Amino acid sequence: MVIDFHAHCYPDKMAAKVTAASLSRVPVYSDGTRAGLEASMRRAGIDLAVSLTVVNAPGNSANINAWAQMENRPPLVMTGGLHPDEPDPFATVDAVAAAGLPGIKVHPEYQDFRFDEERLFPIWERCERRGLFLITHAGWDAVNEPPWHTDPESLAAFHRRFPGLNLILAHLGGMAMWDEVEK
């Protein structure tokens, strides 16, 4: 079985806008819809994909996670999403777990946070208690300028602080920071 653990798709009404914005920075291989992702998977011989949600602003998680719950069926496994600055992040974590989504995607660059912010520690503890993995973009980002909100050293420190949290670091834990990743 071939699994793509880092894919994206969006609600049909948003897909064209998102892919148009992405094209200026990174290659896009489908039209951004679920159907487009599945067609791309078939062409590439991928059996299952984990589609990562993106919560771009506080307060958007409820709608995004409701959509993810509806789309969470083979050949896609959907993650929930969370913005650390939303009004009730604990309710979001609980809702993601109750919806049967296996984890939460965050993006420190788009969401403007760092993992060493103590105000966020209770959120990560809640994810751990609920058995959710946490997947994050890690390192260089095509859309934003340095300095980056994550790097291999800070992510290693975060993992030491929360060793029971299943942490998944997209892009090898420090995209375009290869020497730091090796260290």
Res 183: pLDDT: 87
Prediction pTM value = 0.92
- Report the residue count for the chain: 183
Residue 28, judged by CB atoms within 10 A of its CB (0-12, 13-18, 19+), counts as: middle
Q: Decide if pLDDT at 23 tops 60.
A: no
Residue 138, judged by CB atoms within 10 A of its CB (0-12, 13-18, 19+), counts as: buried
Q: Give the model's confidence band at 14: pLDDT under 50 very low, under 70 low, under 90 confident, else very high.
A: confident
DSSP for 39-96? HHHHHHT--EEEEPP---STT-HHHHHHHHHHH--TTEEEPEE--TTSS-HHHHHHHH
Tens of pLDDT along 46-98? Answer: 999 999 998 999 999 999 999 999 999 999 999 999 999 999 999 999 999 99
| Sheet of 167-175, strand order | 80-81, 103-106, 133-139, 167-175
Q: Give the model's confidence band at 144: pLDDT under 50 very low, under 70 low, under 90 confident, else very high.
A: confident
- Closest listed residue to residue 136, CA positions, set 153, 160, 111: 111
Tens of pLDDT along 85-143? Answer: 999 999 999 999 999 999 999 999 999 999 999 999 999 999 999 999 999 999 888 77
What are the structural domains of the chain? 1-51 (no CATH), 60-182 (3.20.20.140)
Res 22: pLDDT: 63
Res 25: pLDDT: 66
